[in-house]
């Protein structure tokens, strides 16, 4: 039984010697099952200013029983717009649609790409191991499709009136990219699914890649190899290794499955200094060989999650390049060119 730490919990068990798993600065798991998520990222309400004047944001509950909800970003445009279902990163174990870095990035992306964005706040591991996050992504996407079929006589909300439900994309960064990929695999290419946007998708495997070995001892990486391994230990079903299909879509057990998948066109954003770089390039090439339509961009001089966590001048420049690339892909793969 996993337990979250509350303000009234007895604190004796929080001794460092009782920590069994740790992502420095983000997460500690204790022997007795308590989980401490360290509040290092500012959280903001949907009304928080983004600096993007033409985008409105608001929250909508989907499943109160499990705490599943979404945050919408709606540009103020005349035409009906495509919609991007977006899943945040965090190794399946941390992260939130309320994080300020995501709130600001997605508002900018919605404005630039001329699309609505539905940011999904899914359940986290280890309290909810995979496939919980994948299931939540699928439920949120199915909920969206239900909205498309609502009786218009009952009155659509503003976002429903703005949305072209026949032009939907799935996307996300890091663990969110993995969620988007697995949700698309489960959907089987319905006629309304136009594309996949995978930003530094979080995949793994038992065999080490060159970029993993290169960054194995680099403590400055946002995602170190040790942190990646820890996330997978906490997220995968107990006893599973990193060649589980939910982690490694290129494992021997996944290969026939990959070839049989029906997927929309895919755009993958890769960071040159990311521990995941080689694994992501390999994924793109293997997916191409399996007959899928894949294009990818490698952003020079930046590491994992630079678009939401990077503060350097290079990160800002590459973020603009990423937004431009995603915008071009959205326009190319939908019928509504804004």
Kind of pairing, strands 266-271 and 193-199?
parallel
pLDDT given for residue 290 in this prediction: 92
Over the stretch 127-144, which tens digit does the pLDDT of each residue have? 999 999 999 999 999 999
Of residues 148 and 305, more confidence is placed in 305
pLDDT given for residue 13 in this prediction: 64
Q: Is the pLDDT of residue 253 over 80?
A: no
Percent of the chain with pLDDT over 70: 91
Domain coordinates in residue numbering, the chain: 1-40, 42-333
Length of the chain: 338
Q: Is the pLDDT of residue 9 over 60?
A: no
Over the stretch 55-106, which tens digit does the pLDDT of each residue have? 999 999 999 999 999 999 999 998 999 999 999 999 999 999 999 999 999 9
Query: Is 304 tagged catalytic?
Result: yes
* CATH assignment, 42-333: 3.40.50.1820
Could you give the count of Cα atoms lying within 13 Å of 75 in the half-sphere of its Cβ?
21
Query: Is 274 tagged catalytic?
Result: yes
d(CA 171, CA 202): 12
Query: What's this model's pTM, rounded to 2 decimal places?
Result: 0.94
- The β-bridge partners of 70 are 60, 120
Neighbours of 169 (CB within 10 A): 28
Q: Is the pLDDT of residue 153 over 80?
A: no
pLDDT average, residue stretch 3-21: 65
pLDDT given for residue 335 in this prediction: 73
d(CA 292, CA 75): 31
Query: Is 244 tagged catalytic?
Result: no
Non-local (6+) Cβ contacts of 115 within 8 A are 75, 81, 82, 83, 84, 169, 330, 334, 338
Please state the φ and ψ torsions of residue 30, each to the nearest 5 degrees.
-105, 165
Sheet with strand 294-299: strands edge to edge: 55-63, 68-75, 116-121, 81-87, 163-173, 193-199, 266-271, 294-299
Q: Is the pLDDT of residue 7 over 70?
A: no
Q: Is the pLDDT of residue 154 over 60?
A: no
pLDDT given for residue 257 in this prediction: 75
pLDDT band at 316 (very low <50, low <70, confident <90, very high): very high
57, 162, 174, 254: the active-site residue: 174
pLDDT band at 218 (very low <50, low <70, confident <90, very high): low
Q: Is the pLDDT of residue 338 over 60?
A: no
Q: Is the pLDDT of residue 337 over 50?
A: no
pLDDT given for residue 255 in this prediction: 60
Each as own residue / partner, the long-range contacts of residues 162-165 (CB below 8 Å, 24 or more positions apart, any chain) are 162/74, 162/75, 162/77, 162/80, 162/81, 162/116, 163/80, 163/81, 163/83, 163/116, 164/80, 164/81, 164/82, 164/83, 164/334, 164/335, 164/336, 165/83, 165/192
pLDDT given for residue 12 in this prediction: 60
């Amino acid at each position: 039984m996993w337990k979250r730490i509350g303000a009234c919990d007895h604190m004796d068990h929080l001794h460092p010697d009782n920590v069994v798993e740790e992502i420095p600065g983000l997460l500690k798991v204790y022997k007795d099952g308590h989980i401490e998520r360290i509040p290092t990222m500012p959280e903001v309400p949907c009304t928080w200013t983004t600096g993007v004047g033409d985008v409105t944001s608001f929250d909508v509950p989907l499943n109160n029983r499990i705490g599943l909800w979404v945050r919408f970003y709606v540009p103020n445009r005349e035409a009906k717009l495509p919609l991007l279902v977006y899943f945040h990163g965090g190794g399946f174990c941390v992260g939130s649609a309320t994080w300020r870095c995501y709130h600001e990035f997605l508002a900018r992306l919605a404005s630039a790409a001329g699309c609505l964005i539905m940011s999904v706040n899914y359940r986290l591991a280890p309290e909810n191991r995979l496939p919980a996050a994948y299931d939540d992504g699928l439920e949120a996407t199915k909920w969206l499709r239900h909205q498309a079929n609502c009786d218009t006589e009952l009155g659509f909300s503003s976002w429903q009136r703005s949305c072209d439900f026949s032009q939907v994309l799935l996307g996300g960064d890091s663990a969110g990219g993995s969620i988007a990929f697995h949700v698309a695999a489960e959907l089987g290419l319905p006629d309304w699914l136009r594309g996949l946007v995978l930003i530094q998708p979080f995949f793994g495997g038992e065999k080490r890649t060159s970029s993993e070995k290169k960054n194995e001892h680099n403590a400055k990486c946002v995602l170190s190899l040790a942190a990646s391994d820890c996330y997978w230990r906490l997220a995968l079903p107990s006893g599973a290794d990193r060649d589980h299909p939910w982690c490694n879509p290129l494992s021997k057990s996944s290969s026939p499955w990959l070839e049989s998948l029906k997927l929309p066109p895919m755009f993958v954003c890769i960071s040159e200094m990311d521990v995941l770089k080689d694994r992501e390039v390999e994924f793109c090439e293997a997916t191409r060989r399996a007959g899928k339509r894949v294009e990818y961009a490698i952003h020079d001089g930046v590491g994992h999650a630079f678009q939401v966590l990077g503060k350097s001048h290079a990160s800002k420049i590459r973020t603009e390049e990423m937004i431009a690339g995603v915008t071009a892909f959205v326009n190319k793969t939908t019928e509504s060119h804004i």
